[in-house]
């Protein structure tokens, strides 16, 4: 039996409907999720599952963004709205 290998992810910033979003080479899956601790209403800290993606800028720098929601599938990629972290 062999383990399933996750296809590498490439992400870049793109303008979509007048907003900055990210374009990925493949759809994001549950395997891409991580758990972070976040303060919730009431002041308690709870573990929350989020999607964070490292995006390469035009200058070659890496910027980590948090995915807000899936927007659109394209022929050459997938568009996601983002939150700054």
Q: How confident is the model at residue 1 (pLDDT cuts 50, 70, 90)?
A: very low
3 is a domain residue:
no
75 is a domain residue:
yes
pTM: 0.82
70 is a domain residue:
yes
pLDDT in tens, 40-82: 888 899 999 999 999 988 899 999 999 999 999 999 999 999 9
Domain count, the chain: 1
2 is a domain residue:
no
Which domain does 52 fall in, by range?
11-84
Half-sphere exposure of 74 (CA within 13 A, CB side): 12
> Taking residues 9-28, what's their average pLDDT?
94
59 is a domain residue:
yes
Helix (H, G, I), strand (E, B) or coil at 32: helix
80 is a domain residue:
yes
6 is a domain residue:
no
Q: How many residues does the chain have?
A: 85
């Amino acid at each position: 039996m062999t383990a399933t290998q996750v296809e590498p992810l490439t992400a870049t910033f793109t303008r979509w409907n007048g907003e900055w979003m990210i374009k990925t080479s493949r759809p994001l899956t549950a395997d891409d999720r991580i758990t972070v601790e976040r303060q919730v209403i009431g002041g308690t800290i709870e573990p929350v599952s989020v999607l964070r993606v490292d995006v390469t800028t035009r200058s070659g720098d890496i910027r980590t963004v948090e995915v807000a929601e899936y927007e659109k599938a394209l022929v050459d990629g997938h568009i996601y709205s983002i939150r700054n972290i």
